[in-house]
Structure 1
Amino acid sequence: MTDFTELRRDSLARHLRKHLAGEVRFDVGSRRLYSTDASIYQIEPLGVILPKSAEDIVAAVQITAEMHVPITPRGGGTSLSGQSIGPGVVLDCSKYLNDVLDIDPIARTARVQPGVVLDAFNRALAPYNLLFGPEVSTSSRANLGGMMGNNSAGSRSIVYGKTIDHVRRLEVVLGDGSRASFGSVTPAEWDRRAEQRTLEGGIYRQVGEIVRRNREEIRRRFPRILRRVSGYNLDVIADGMDDNAVGLHQLLVGSEGTLAIVTEAELGLVAKPKARGLLVPQFSSLAAAMDAVAACLEYKPSAVEVMDHYLLELTAGNLALRETMKAIRGRPQAVLMVEFQGDEEKEVADRVEKLRRRLEGVNGLTASVPALDPSVRDPLWDLRKAGMPLLYGMRGDRKPVTFVEDCAVAPERLPEFIARFRETLRRHGTDGAFYGHASVGCLHIRPLMNLKDPDDVARMRRIAADVTDLVLEYGGSLSGEHGDGLARSEWNEKMFGPTVYQAFREVKAAFDPDGLLNPGKIVDAPRMTENLRYGPHYRPTELPVVFNYDKQEGFVRSVEMCNGNGACRKTQGGTMCPSFRATLDERDSTRGRANALRLAISGEQPLREMRSKWVRDIFDLCLMCKACKAECPSNVDVAKLKAEWLELIYQGRPRPLSHLLAAGLPTINRLGSPFSPLVNWLQNQRPLRWLLEKTAGIDRRRSLPSLHAGHFRRWFARHKPDAAAGRIGRVLLMDDCFTTYNEPAVGRAAVRVLERAGYAVELTNLHCCGRPALSKGFLRATRSLVQSQAPALARRVADGTPILGLEPSCLLTLSDEWTELAPGPDVQRIAAAAHLADGWLAKQVQEGRCALRLRPLEEKCVLHGHCHQKALVGVGGTAAALRLVPGLDVTVLDVGCCGMAGSFGYEKEHYDLSVKIAGLALLPALASVPESAVVAPGTSCRHQIKDLAGRRAHHPLEMLAAQLTPIGITTSTPSPPFR
């Protein structure tokens, strides 16, 4: 394409901004963020467009065509083959074009825009007991437009087929900017349209002629298997012409945005199954698992998925999935997940049991675990969906690479094919990770390679050449669902032969005469080893970091763990990523931040690049919630990386006042506490609020936490212990800065409960855990703080005494950041001793180590967990503590982040986003339960709930303390409602 100067780039941007209502971004940050997707490739575009309407797409295509600039449509950016990156303009439809326009439950159809996410679509269909059949593993962020471009299929394709089987009509923009509507037509209608003297008419004429001329070769060269998405769907058009029911929409599905750009689609829907169940057979070898697939298929399952030992081992180390691994017995080398669905639970359970009995005694079977309860079944299914990004969590530069990961053959030939595939890999000196859709003969096999090594790049090409030979031998397809893209398009002539390949080129020319729609995909592709994200050219810089990165084998590799899978773009379930959920903007995703850091450290001047405006803007809205540490399948910990980034960019440079105030919070609280009446009065005065906003950036709309002269430590020094204290043992209570000075009532409640349970309470008396300083990246200062306090604290817990915390962010700092700032025996001992007080106490009661007499409370309460708590230890312990209260009905909210995030929600530049995040799920959830008590372990969460919902949220130990049976009372009478 034309080598654009900055002047011509600016001219293109000006033209686009003049004619589009959507966003036009040609800044360096946007160009770099959109240079990658979930593939191994990287191509920086000229700019990015975020259209707001079909008219925007029309204008964008017309303007780019006039200036001879390629345009690449993009959805969630989850392409594994490089389909959604390109050298011209990237058209991101995910932010604004994401509406479900209409649902017709009678006809079982729906009209959608291309940016609708699959999970969101199915949520909209749920009230009608309908769903969209294809279910891909990236359903939480995959856009329907991308699924159509890719002809996606997913786990249940043995029942529902591929996306092409559910597309009824497509509204599109053609390469010249004209609009067209494609659906099934009769032969007469096809001929009528072919008479038009327009681009659309020419398409009908030429495609009809191409298919008729090449019909026999198409039938000979296209594999007749369940899963084939490579090339253009000329076989479907040929079959349709024979059946007098054909439409060009069938050609567009799977065309990867190379023929037209979809603006709207009419999709067919299916009935939602009333019951589902899983059987999880486990095997001593992958070969044994493959041999068992045929027996599984006899029982008509809706899916048969396979996972090998690589995936299972990495799952065991994933914080969010670790609990799920309890269903896996021992250390199998492979497991199958056989799913059944039906109209009745008993029917499904019977089929699961019949298969379980059928597999008894099968060679290599080590266990067979039914999973019928949704609480067990659904996490197991999620484990399979996490496959590819989990694999990228492998330590070191040798990773499972996506380039021959999508081969498909007939299911009955799969065991032999897999054995031959593994032989091929071993012949080339490597192995691979094997998982995928055994039910339809499509396995995702990822050879282990280091693409930073030129020898491995050459080896990758040799493996691909051998695998294409193997696939042809077995009558299969090089792609069963992931498409061609940059990874496989080069091989299409070999796979389909020169005649059919030339037909592909003619189809491309008919739709797109100038070759500007996503060029280089399917036909006329570059070599598969070009445009690599990592390659011999890649030279990242190791920087003088403070955190320990031994688990990831260095800071650089910690950054590189992001493979672009886009799990951080989900908008429901869990917490990751709060800022993206509020803005739906790529730069505000975990992926965007990890990408920005990787691009910065691989530049010629990494520190200068890290200090640049585009990198600062990308990190600015990170709340450091730690959700990505647990929920990112690759375990990318952006909270840790942001803290390191802040430390690096401010080395030898002055800090903003807001940073200094946040880090100095312990000292400010301690000095201000004696004057709390005056301080509390002053901070509510409008002139001071205005001054704080102007000088320190604290938004005047945000209330400030009150100080208490009678702070917790002062009260504790004077209080008389309960008569039961010390009867069982001793605990150290972490008197964090927030509990001590801002909410001493929480500390008093904790002491009452712990002493009544029989424990003598001592305070840790730490100056500070370092949490406020960490939030602004004062890593060296925090490390000194840890090193000065850890030895004495470690001695106090050497006898097994636990450290119990009330504020999750502070307590979990001891077990998380302390271990990575100052690793060593003292800190490890402290981390092992650190527990959240409520969860620890619940466990002691449940295991019979202590008793706690509590009055009944016939009331409902909702529990909102702290983000750090949810990421690192979960809220199960807190819920268990609340359920110690007889009669208390506890509901754990799944509403993500509250949006406060410590100092983040106080800052003027972040206040509006903080409020928006709370409004996504938390505030509506609270509004729906006006009569329920609200419980939140985190002080930031309680503050946000008070400010925005006008309701008091209680600490869980306050709830327990209020229900303690008074001393001397032997009968338990219900207490009044807790408000």
Structure 2
Amino acid sequence: MAEGSLEAPVRHPLDWQNPEFYDMAAIEKEMHRIFDICHGCRRCFNLCDSFPRLFDLADNSPTGELDAVDPKDYKPVVDACTLCDLCFMTKCPYVPPHEFNLDFPHLMLRYRAAEFAQGKTDKVAQALTHTDRNGKLGSLVAPIANWATDRNNAVTRPMLQAMAGVAREAELPKYAVQTFQQQALDAPKVNRNAPGFGRKAVLYATCFVEFHDPGIGLAARAILAHNGVETEVAYPACCGMPQLEAGNIADVAERARTVSQALKRYIDEGYEVIALVPSCALMLKFEWPLILPDDPDVKRLAEHTSDISEYIVAIAKKEGLAPGLAALPGGVTVHIACHARAQNMGQKASELLRLIPDTKIDVVERCSGHGGSWGVMEGNFEVALKVGRPVARSAINNENPFVASECPLAAPHILQGIEKLAGDAPLPTHAHPVELFARAYGLVAG
């Protein structure tokens, strides 16, 4: 057998509408085949907790091999997978078109889909995936919701842990009093003298920017207007990444149809689509076309979607940026988000920040450990901090006043890791790279 493939990774469409996709006996057989390959390779030992759990199963078995492991013991391996896709995109030498045909994340997804179909998915965990419903309700009562979910609230956080399994120490996203769309009713004035004038883009808000951190969207819109880009804002629905993590593929497919239909008219009118969060860009670009490979609107949307950092860097390379960037005081530790790496587009966040003159940029290309909703759950939070400890340690050693990540969940999690390691030392400020870029332009206060 060949040691590894020299060809670019190729992903097969998900056969989720085939009843055999949910056959647990067939899934466990495929898991044994793939796990045995992973056991013999171990290149992914430091990516997430799935692989240490898998290797411990083999090493602690009577034979030291997987042949003595009951397939029923595979579930903890599945539970630890955060669908970050890094094993597939950055580590594994046996992904298609290699003859081993190994796609670890999508096998974990298949297992979860079978569990979901059998009604075995935890109901409380399912409730946490309803980001649009939760976001609308949370924004309506934002001061109360933010008070109740504050990790220093000694009354409500123990109750949240007992009722929903959310670790009481985990930092949770705050709700915005006004959504991004509410704050973006008036478009910023477009700089007609900028090199990028003539471009048009619609910002797909994403549930996080819409309900939790509109500042990311406002900063992106200000940067684009300053560089001559006419923008609109749209938010038809969540991309479905939380539902994908739960194995509810049919729900994701419906969201893909809804959003691609809603954004179709913008593409027809010459707009490019920009996703403001890497996980959502990954869904639009890669996951949706694998779930609905025959849907022309989904395919077309994927072809016209960019990550926000990717889009701004493209302007810089093709037309050049409008003047006005000034150095940020101190330096920036920039964490490259896992779902940005999985898009196979290069380190666009660091490329973006290096466009700021006379500013020290230090890059950390390791998982923060958060893993979406996985990292805030009781029993996972301490593991999440452990996985992200190298990132936190690098940020401390870099001694920069800013920590930036395109993943809005990763940045505060990294700060929690720094807090654990540094004790009472002053914490850096965390921000999205576009927020720092807007600050360097003088477009937002800082």
TM-score class normalised by the smaller sequence:
0.7 to 0.9
Q: Which runs of 5+ in 2 are unaligned?
A: 13-17, 60-64, 96-101, 419-426
1:401-436 deviations in Å (ceiling 9; x for gaps): xxxxxxxxxxxxxxxxxxxxxxxxxxxxxxxxxxxx
Deviation at 1:859, TM superposition (A): 3.7
Offset of residue 655 of structure 1? 3.4
Q: Please give the alpha-carbon distance, in whole angstroms, between the structure 1 residues aligned to 2:246 and 2:300.
A: 26
| RMSD (Å) for aligned C-alpha atoms | 3.5
Q: Are 1:627 and 2:97 matched, yes or no?
A: no
Which residue matches 2:429? 952
SS at match of 2:81: coil
Counterpart in the other structure of 2:286? 816
What displacement does 1:694 show?
A: 1.4
Distance 1:317 1:735 in 2: 31
Corresponding residue for residue 62 of structure 2: none
Q: Give distance in 2, aligned partners of 1:599 and 1:718.
A: 64
Aligned position for 2:406: 937
Q: Shift of the alpha carbon at 1:650?
A: 2.6
Maintained 8 Å contact 1:935/1:955: yes
CA deviations 1:234-284 (Å, max 9, x no partner) are xxxxxxxxxxxxxxxxxxxxxxxxxxxxxxxxxxxxxxxxxxxxxxxxxxx
Letter in 2 for 1:746: I
SS class of match (1:650): helix
Deviation at 1:730, TM superposition (A): 0.6
CA distance in 2, matches of 1:588, 1:854: 54
Work out the CA distance in 2 between the residues paired with 1:584 and 1:891. Answer: 33
What is the rounded CA distance, in whole Å, between the counterparts of 2:237 and 2:157 in structure 1?
A: 28
Distance in 2 separating the partners of 1:966 and 1:936: 19
CA change 1:702–1:562 in 2 (3 A) is closer
- Amino acid across the alignment from 2:304: A
Q: Name the counterpart of 2:21.
A: 545
- CA deviation string 1:595-618 (max 9, x = no partner): 98x999xxxxxxxx97x4x13222
Deviation string 1:533-555 (CA, Å, 9 cap, x unpaired) is: xxxxxxxxx85338xxxxxxx99
Question: Would the alpha carbon gap of residues 719 and 568 (structure 1) be closer, same or farther in structure 2, given more than 3 Å must change?
Answer: farther
Contact 2:405 2:432 in 1 (8 A): yes
Cα shift at 1:916: 1.1
**Separation of aligned partners in 2, 1:952 and 1:966:** 18
User: Conserved in 2, the CA contact under 8 Å of 1:897 and 1:917?
Assistant: yes
CA distance in 1, matches of 2:149, 2:333: 31
Partner of 1:689: 157
Does the 8 Å contact 1:568/1:632 carry over to 2? Answer: no
**Out of 257, 267, 277, which is 1:797 matched to?**
267
Counterpart in the other structure of 2:9: 318
Q: 1:945 touches 1:951 (CA, 8 Å); kept in 2?
A: no
Task: Find the residue that maps to 1:686 and give its secondary structure.
Answer: coil
Contact map agreement 2:356 2:440 (CA 8 A) in 1: yes
State the number of aligned residues. 413
Larger % of helix: which? 2
Residue type of the partner of 2:281? Answer: L
Residue among 845, 858, 866 paired with 2:337? 866
Name 1:676's counterpart in structure 2: 142
1:643-694 deviations in Å (ceiling 9; x for gaps): 2211212314253133222221221011220210111112233332122111
Tell me, which stretches of 5 or more residues in structure 1 are unaligned? 1-38, 40-79, 81-136, 138-310, 320-392, 395-541, 547-553, 590-594, 601-608, 968-974
In the alignment, the residues of structure 2 paired with residue 789 and residue 734 of structure 1 have an alpha-carbon distance, to the nearest angstrom, of 9
1:863–1:581 distance in 2 versus 1, CA, 3 Å: farther
Q: How much has 1:794 moved relative to structure 2?
A: 3.0
Higher RCO, Cα 8 Å, sep 6+: 2
Q: 1:723 to 1:841 in 2, by over 3 A?
A: closer
Indicate yes or no: 2:205 matched with 1:735. Answer: yes
User: Is contact 2:53–2:76 with CA below 8 Å preserved after alignment?
Assistant: no
Contact persistence 2:188–2:221 (CA under 8 A): no
Cα shift readout 1:552-585 (whole Å, capped 9, x = no counterpart): xx9987985666155863478xxx6221677694
**TM-score where L is the length of structure 1:** 0.39
Task: Look up the SS of the partner of 1:887 in the other structure.
Answer: coil
Q: Which residue of 2 aligns with 1:411?
A: none
Match of 2:184 among 716, 735, 754: 716
Cα shift readout 1:624-643 (whole Å, capped 9, x = no counterpart): 22111112111233222222
Change (3 A) 1:558 1:843: farther
- Secondary structure class of the residue paired with 1:545: helix
Give the conservation status (yes or no) of the 8 Å contact 2:35–2:54. Answer: no
The reply on whether 1:924 has 2:393 as its aligned counterpart is: yes
Q: CA deviation at 1:805?
A: 1.7
Aligned to 1:806: 276
Residue by residue over 1:155-197, the C-alpha shift from the partner in whole angstroms, topping out at 9 and shown as x without a partner, is xxxxxxxxxxxxxxxxxxxxxxxxxxxxxxxxxxxxxxxxxxx
Query: TM-score scaled by structure 2?
Result: 0.82
1:883 and 2:343 equivalent?
Answer: no
Amino acid at match of 2:319: G
Residue 42 of structure 2, aligned match among 569, 586, 610: 569
User: Structure 1 559/802 Cα, relative in aligned 2: closer, same or farther at 3 Å?
Assistant: farther
